[in-house]
Chain A
């Protein structure tokens, strides 16, 4: 039951999460996976077959852009950063997420400390 709910939420919110993580700085795919995992304390997890379809689709929509970046002493990696359109989408999702959470809270009576 809990797993199913998490799956559904994950699907709907995955793009939102990635946009949020890219807001401050460009990141590569593995970094994104690690951040989602650690910040959700293991509740949410992605792997190659779930993450990359998402990234490529978002890139296709013009929300994010992937660039190969070479750093001294490292292999080149593909870094994704937010575009203007992505930033606008993030703002909009943030607003509707807030409204949604507020509504859920009012209905379910869940309170955060």
Chain B
């Protein structure tokens, strides 16, 4: 009995059919042959019948049958996941990728970098802005503030009278409460401390839905104006001050020298509304208040089920108009309810973070372009293979799918590697944020949360499509006949070459943009590092004290005693007591100079002022350039004095000696008085805030601290060896004089100066990482394309060299091709980059967003990197041995 099945099977073997398709065809055709053989053999003999049938089976037309069957399997009605063809494609893709490990390593590392950066950025945004408060239904927790009717975005709070009316009339919120943030002195026990508190109305805790672990929160009775003072402790204060005593209820706590009864303790980590350690009841009598009057507070509320922010805002608006007795269409007052985090985070933080997310997507795009180019290169080398697959009846969708699966495999491994990298990035970011300390929002929790990982997967999926589709479309468009006829595949590689070059131009443009942003950040950071504040900061320890009560004379005497006792400490180079610290403590004010006439408010010159004690000059090592310093004799009763900075003298007394002239600080509390200028000092670093076009060396005026009228808070600074010039000395001195006065905000002057610029250091560093990653990726991309094109043209180079072209000529030829792409890509990038830098302007420090030196530097760095990327393949081209080149293909 002849085995027809194995004959049919052998006939089909070269077609590489899906096993199931093959089995079906074998079965059907073998059956047919068998039947025919049984019929034919008796007539013409077995041998003849077999020969005839085998000849028929061997006919070329039979290939068509296979083709018809195969495309039906790919595009037909059987769902692709059931036919097992995806699995087959994955196996096939993995096998074929294993043959080119270089492509895989390059592609995976490029994409992993892009995915890691995107993931870090997204986990920051998720942990800070999207995840929400760690409470029940956080999206229903609203903050209500008063919008600015002028539209300048200066938001204010809501007066208590209006709050009380809203609370009585509104229907949108199930809980409606308010609070006022403050800092107070807490004393008693072993030490005094300065803590952040909130004075809360009843219901403010309930908005979060968190219950105290001991006792209760505030009731309406606690809010009555003359109710006995009560307090709810934060967990940390309960643990540290009361050693976690479970019988803490009804014990007393000294707040600002007054006794409060403890009624509750909140659970660990609870710091609502922001970074509160203690809560006191807000005690206000609303009965006598008219609309718009009373203490201003922040409203927190919980949306009633079924209500949304739209309807709640409509109701608030109607209530506000009724309150102000205004027609409903006027827009004078606009109180706005927003989700809590949205309302409490500055909108510039939103725009910065999303701008950065956009930036990392650009880096990712560059990485995708790299992978696309790599795969495109593979496509060219596999043109014949693809052509044969198409010729054998593979449908174009099957070819596209195969290509996408290969980029998917690369993206999968990139996502794994990228997540691991991102984990490291997140840890580093959290470490950098430790400097934020109390400014760190309590809900911020930056980790690779599940939604972040889902995001990674989506990004990887999009990346695999973005990097696989172009090569896939290209291979699907291939002309079978042309490929199979054209042994050297010159025609198709030419077309791919054009596509690759366009991709590289795009990559260069994107990385120019990123590099430009990185350049501005680098310059900002180096400006910041280079900054000479003009005063000593390294060996200066600082702290603040805050005095309770309203007795100015007592406060004055107390601070004088502190100054006296500190000066008895040995080994100090200077002791400073003043209103605040230089660098960050300046207050902006408008100045009048005696004998000048100012027509309008804005004609008064601007200056920064600071009230300093006589120790300022020794403690901060500030010299006096002319005249004299502020002296211990400049005290209450003596003529009022001021020391001005060089910048102030230059701007207001050009060419004239300012000493002896008089000025007035117009925005001081109480009646402004004339101050006589007694000295001139160098201009000191001021502001420290990262501001758009901030002048960091503005005109400055020092006034005499002891000639002031208010002494409720003061900054203290000591300069000297670390063993003595530290806050412990200050604490000892202050505690000896009054144990109720806390010494807080202890920090070295270096830390004080660097704290306000942390966004620049953290985000600026991130930008620098983005920039250099994209530079690297673009250079690699350019290199790959050039190297590929050179290898394709090896034969041509060989001929040129054989005909007498010099190495220089060949290098020029190759580099010229690259130069065109570099110039086009860079021009586009610089154009868009200029726009992008403007968007992240808030991070710039002492650099203008149109600084030509940065543009030039970026052009040079990118140009050099790109040039090297061209040069290496160009040099390799000159090494081509003409004979070898002519023999290949």
Binding site for B on A (CB under 8 A): 29-30, 33, 47-53, 55-57, 59-60, 68, 75, 77-78
CB contacts under 8 Å to A, within B55-70, are: 56-62, 64-65, 68-69
Q: Are A50 and B59 in contact (CB under 8 A)?
A: yes
Cα–Cα, bound, A53→B71 (Å): 13
With A29-B28, A57-B64 known to touch, is A49 a contact of B57 (CB < 8 Å)?
A: yes
The stretch of B32-40, B766-774, B805-813 in contact with A is B32-40
Q: Assess whether B9 is interfacial by the CB under 8 Å rule.
A: no
A-B contact pairs, 25 of them (CB 8 A): A29-B28, A30-B31, A30-B35, A33-B32, A47-B36, A48-B33, A48-B36, A49-B56, A49-B58, A49-B59, A49-B60, A49-B61, A49-B62, A50-B59, A52-B25, A52-B29, A53-B65, A55-B65, A56-B65, A56-B68, A57-B64, A59-B68, A60-B71, A60-B72, A77-B31
With A49-B56, A49-B57, A52-B29 known to touch, is A60 a contact of B68 (CB < 8 Å)?
A: yes
Cα–Cα, bound, A77→B27 (Å): 9
Note all chain A residues with C-beta closer than 8 A to B72: 56, 59-60
Cα–Cα, bound, A52→B27 (Å): 13
With A29-B32, A75-B31 known to touch, is A48 a contact of B62 (CB < 8 Å)?
A: yes
Cα–Cα, bound, A68→B36 (Å): 20
Cα–Cα, bound, A97→B29 (Å): 31
In the complex, the number of residue pairs spanning A and B with C-beta atoms less than 8 Å apart equals 62
Note all chain B residues with C-beta closer than 8 A to A68: 24
Cα–Cα, bound, A48→B58 (Å): 10
Note all chain A residues with C-beta closer than 8 A to B28: 29, 52, 77-78
Cα–Cα, bound, A78→B32 (Å): 10
B273 shortest CB reach to chain A, Å: 67
With A30-B36, A56-B72, A60-B72 known to touch, is A49 a contact of B65 (CB < 8 Å)?
A: yes
B466 shortest CB reach to chain A, Å: 33
> Which of B25, B28, B53, B69 has the most A CB atoms < 10 Å from its CB?
B28
Cα–Cα, bound, A87→B531 (Å): 88
Note all chain A residues with C-beta closer than 8 A to B29: 29, 48, 52
Cα–Cα, bound, A48→B25 (Å): 11
Give 12 A-B pairs besides A30-B36, A77-B28 with Cβ atoms closer than 8 angstroms.
Answer: A29-B28, A33-B32, A33-B36, A47-B36, A48-B36, A49-B57, A50-B61, A51-B32, A52-B29, A59-B72, A60-B72, A78-B27
Cα–Cα, bound, A57→B29 (Å): 15
**Count of B residues near A, CB < 8 Å?**
25
Note all chain B residues with C-beta closer than 8 A to A75: 31
Note all chain B residues with C-beta closer than 8 A to A59: 68, 72
Note all chain A residues with C-beta closer than 8 A to B61: 49-50, 53
Cα–Cα, bound, A68→B27 (Å): 11
A45 shortest CB reach to chain B, Å: 11
Q: Are A48 and B56 in contact (CB under 8 A)?
A: yes
Note all chain A residues with C-beta closer than 8 A to B60: 49
Note all chain A residues with C-beta closer than 8 A to B24: 68, 78
Cα–Cα, bound, A29→B72 (Å): 18
Cα–Cα, bound, A25→B47 (Å): 35
**Chain B, 59-95, contact with A by CB distance < 8 Å: what is the 0/1 string?**
1111011001101100010000000000000000000
Cα–Cα, bound, A101→B61 (Å): 29
Q: Are B57 and A48 in contact (CB under 8 A)?
A: yes
B68 shortest CB reach to chain A, Å: 3
> Which of B25, B27, B35, B65 has the most A CB atoms < 10 Å from its CB?
B65
With A29-B28, A33-B32, A77-B31 known to touch, is A52 a contact of B65 (CB < 8 Å)?
A: yes
> Which of A33, A47, A68, A77 has the most B CB atoms < 10 Å from its CB?
A47
Cα–Cα, bound, A33→B719 (Å): 108
Partner of A56, one of B32, B33, B58, B69: B69
Q: Are A53 and B62 in contact (CB under 8 A)?
A: yes
Q: Are A53 and B32 in contact (CB under 8 A)?
A: no
Cα–Cα, bound, A77→B69 (Å): 17
Cα–Cα, bound, A57→B453 (Å): 47
Closest to A77 in B: B31
Cα–Cα, bound, A57→B32 (Å): 18
Note all chain B residues with C-beta closer than 8 A to A77: 28, 31
A79 shortest CB reach to chain B, Å: 11
Cα–Cα, bound, A53→B35 (Å): 19
Cα–Cα, bound, A55→B64 (Å): 11
CB contacts under 8 Å to A, within B392-419, are: none
CB contacts under 8 Å to A, within B14-51, are: 24-25, 27-29, 31-33, 35-36
Cα–Cα, bound, A77→B56 (Å): 21
Cα–Cα, bound, A29→B69 (Å): 15
Cα–Cα, bound, A78→B76 (Å): 18
Note all chain A residues with C-beta closer than 8 A to B56: 47-49
Cα–Cα, bound, A52→B72 (Å): 14
Cα–Cα, bound, A49→B58 (Å): 8
A65 shortest CB reach to chain B, Å: 10
Note all chain A residues with C-beta closer than 8 A to B68: 53, 56-57, 59-60
Note all chain B residues with C-beta closer than 8 A to A52: 25, 28-29, 62, 65
Closest to B76 in A: A60
Closest to B29 in A: A48
Q: Are A30 and B32 in contact (CB under 8 A)?
A: yes
Q: Are B64 and A53 in contact (CB under 8 A)?
A: yes
Note all chain A residues with C-beta closer than 8 A to B65: 49, 52-53, 55-56
Note all chain A residues with C-beta closer than 8 A to B32: 29-30, 33, 48, 51
Note all chain A residues with C-beta closer than 8 A to B59: 49-50
Cα–Cα, bound, A97→B50 (Å): 37
